[in-house]
Structures are given as structure tokens and as C-alpha cells.
Structure 1
Amino acid sequence: MRDMPRLLSMRRNSSILVSLLLTVPLSACITMKSEHDELASEVMTLRKKVAERDTELVETLTQAQEQMALVEEQLAAAEKILRSNQASIGVRVDNLEFDLSDVRGTAEDSLNELAALSQNVADSRTELDERLTKVESKLNAETDIPEGKTDLLSAAERALESKDYGRARRLFRTYLSRYPSDAKEAEVRFKIGQTLFSERDYRSALGEFYWLVQNAPDSAVIHDAVYYSGLAFAKLGQCDKSLAYFNAIVKDGSEAPARYKTQAAKQIKTLDADTGKICADRRTEEDEEEEAAPAGES
């Protein structure tokens, strides 16, 4: 009786073991069935792809054969044309040789004409280059204007000293436009008048000198402007106005430099003695008629 529980326990464990042995094969079978179906599906897919590629390969081969046949037809046609052309090449060469002498003669004439034309072009080019050089020089002179204030004024002074009056005037006017109401304005304006006076544009010079008399009577160049105004009026034959400026220089109390007083006195003496050769405003009607009369008439 004491071994009864042990026997019951052994039977129970045996039943459990039998159950486990029966269950394990069934699970393995289920697993193998699932993998088999998956593999079968993959095989089917691969077969479809292989079939599709076989179909594409057949179509490609068919197209290649069609294209090869077309190329062969074209080659045959080209060979036929080539043979036909070979037959006519000889005739064409004969015609070319026959016309070659005429062509050579025409070519020589053309070469001669071309040589003459080339010489004409060369001469025209030389003339054009000379003109272009002059234009470039003038353009460089117009555009070659220093940027700095001191450099600009120095360049204008150098141009004035070298008697390049046009360039000097351009530089001085550029200075005035860049630096209006500058302390050197009166001096610059007088030098502009000097360039005009030197070019015998006396009326324009008087315009610059008159600006100084009206607007800068206390400037350092006022006596220069007054003296040159007297000279300009004398050059124009207006001696009465000229004398007025010279007398302003030599009058008592004038602060004009001694050199201007000396020169003004000489100018006054010359103008007072003039009978009409210099002073147009002193000429009589008889003098003007005599001057206008043709040579040889009294």
C-alpha cells in the first residue's frame, strides 16, 4: 500500500510523455507544409519571369533579323549606285581636264585683281590707322584727367607752361566744376582767361577777366586781370576802354605791382599817339573808306 502513490505518479508521467510524443510530429508536419507552399510560390514566380524573358528574347531576335535584312537591301542598292558612278567617272574626268585650262586663266586674272585690291585695302588701312591714332590721342587727352585736387591743378599748370592751351583750359574748368567756391577760384579763372588770350580769343578772355573785376576785386590776381583786360581791348581796337583799364593801374594810390605800372604807362603812351592804326574807335570815315578801297586806288 505504501508504493501505491508512487505507482500512480509513474502512470501519470507516462501519460504526459505519450501526449508530448504525439504532439511533436504533428507540429513539425505543419511547419514543413508552410515552407513547402512558400517554396512552390517562389518557383512559380521564377518560371513566369523566365517565360517573360524568353518572349522578350524572341522579339528582340526577330527585330534584329528584320533590321539586318533592311541593311542588306541598302548595301545592295549602294553597290549598284557605285558601279554606275564608276562607269561615268572617266567621262567626268575628261570634261574636267578640258575645262582646267580655262579655269587656270580665270584664276590668274582673279589673282591679279586680288593683288590690286589687297594693295588698295592696305593703303586704306594705313590711312585709317593714322586717323585712328589721331582720334585715340585726342580721346586720351580728353579723358586723361587726374583725380586728386593737387594733381589736377598741377597737370593744368604744366599744360599751360607747355602752351597746350586747350588741355590747360579743360583741366582748369574741370577743377572749377569739381571744387566750386574753392580758395583758388579767382586764380584759376584768370589762367583760363590767359589761355583764351594766348589763342587770340580776346572777347572770351575779357569775359573771364570781367568776372574777376565784378566778383573778386580783392583777389591776388585782380591787377593781372585789369592789365590783361586793357591789352585785350587794345587788341580789339577799343582804345577808350583799354585806356580806362591802364589808367586804373597807374593812378595814384593803385596797389598794382610796379611791373604792371611800368607796362601800363607804355601802353597809354602808345595808344595816345595812335591815329587809327590800332584804335578802331578813333578812325574817321575817310580812314575807313581808304582802308576799304581796292589796292591801287587813291
Structure 2
Amino acid sequence: MHNLKWLIIAGLISLPLTVQAKSADEKIAELEKKIQSLQETYLQNNKDVASAVAKAETVLQDAQALKGAIDVGQHELRTYSTQMDRRFLDLEHRLNALEEQMRILIVQTGKALKQLNPKLANETDAYQAALNQAKEGNYLNAVAKFETFLKAYPKSEFVGSARYWIGECFFGLRDFPRSIKEFQKYIEKHPRGDRIKNALLRQGLAFAELGKSDEAKLFLEKVIKEYPNNDEATEAQGKLDRLNQKPAAPPPVSSVPESSYPEKTLQEERQEQPPPEQMEY
């Protein structure tokens, strides 16, 4: 798995930007097919849930390795193209959704080893439906489904993730004030959540998008300080470096004096002069 990660990283750095994005899309599509196959296996044959758990964990590791490779590629190529930054952000959203799908499947199949629980299945299906909407970019629908899920299953183990994804959806909608607010709800209600660093990073990026550099720097510096060895810290440092860059100086005022040529030609001035008076003899 370690070798796989570095092979992907090397490929991402060495290929052109458009090829990297295409390659990442293809790998994500492969992971999505594997997830769908695992989910069908779970629904059709609960006798093989132990095998499904093992397969799910393997696919999750692959997804995490690919995400790490994309993070490295994004860091290396960040200065080249704002458009590619957005492309990488879209890929990151899709990979986050894939990871979440795998966690759901692992939890679902793991509990099925002990007993089959129809209530748990309904709960998981409701969360999965909301997550699918987020993955497809239907952010408003996703928010509605996540909020419905929180009301229906307030004690679910997916409550924290649902709150986090509401913030992600508003970030995707570029409603940055609402995104900051929703991420703060997640941080306050789940202080030990495993996505705190992600929420802090998103808040920093959202403030930057709003043009509030001072606030953005506070959140980015917090991520770097409290999570120094994480990919989020690397991304935060890259954004912080760009915010700290001095704006380009305005072009110098030309020192060339104004033209000394007359506004009118000699011929034009002569034409404007009155004719000389006729002398009387």
C-alpha cells in the first residue's frame, strides 16, 4: 500500500495537469464501482459480511492513498493554475464522499456480524442517500436530507459526519458565511470529532474567499500548529503563503515630460488669423 501511494504521487507530479485530472477521475470511477459491488454483496448475501468488511477496508485504504496523492499533486502544482485548484477541490470532495461511503459500509457490515438490525439499515440508508446527493454536487438536496437525518436519528453515530457535510455543502455552494457557521456548529458539538482539522481548514479557506485575510490566517495558523503532520496542514501552509505574498506594485508613473509640440500646426494658426487690412492710397 505504501508503494502504491508513492507510485500514484510520482505519476501525478510527472504528468500534465489535464492528464492528472483525467487519471484521478478514472481511479475514482474504479473505486465507485468497487463500492457499488460491495454494497450489492452486502444486501444480497449477509453470510459473506466478514469478507465484505475485509474488502471494504482494502478499498478504503486505496481511496485514502489516492487522496493523499492528489493532495501532494495539488501542493506541487498550486501556483500553476487557479482552474486546476478548483479541479482538485472537486476531486477532493468526491474522494471525501468515497471515504465516507466506505466507513458506512464497514460499520454496516461489522454490525451485521453480530445481528441484522432493520432500524440500523434504515438509518444507514438515510445517511447514504444524503451523502450521494453531496457526492453528485446536488448540495441543496444534500443539505435537506442531512437535516432530515439529524432530526430522525439524533443519536446516530453518523450525526457528527452529517453536521460536517452540511458545512461542506454550503462551501460547495460558495455560501461561505453559512459554511463557516455550520462548520463552527460541528466543532462546538463534536470537539473530539475526527474532522475538526478539516472544518478549521475550510473555515480559513472560506474567510479567504470572503476577502477577510486576517480571519483566514488565524484559522490556517491554527491548523498548522495543532495538526502539523497532516495533509490539511500542508494545504493550510500553501494558502497562508499566498495570503502573505505582497500585492504587485502598481506600474511606475512615466517620467517622460509631456509633448512640447504645439497643439496646432503653423498652417492652422495662419488660417485662424484675420486677413491684413487693405492700405488706402
TM bucket normalised to smaller: 0.3 to 0.5
Q: Name the structure where helix makes up a greater proportion of residues.
A: 1
Q: Larger RCO: Structure 1 or Structure 2 (Cα < 8 Å, ≥ 6 residues apart)? A: 2
| Structure whose CA Rg is larger | 1
TM-score (norm 2): 0.43
TM-score (norm 1): 0.41
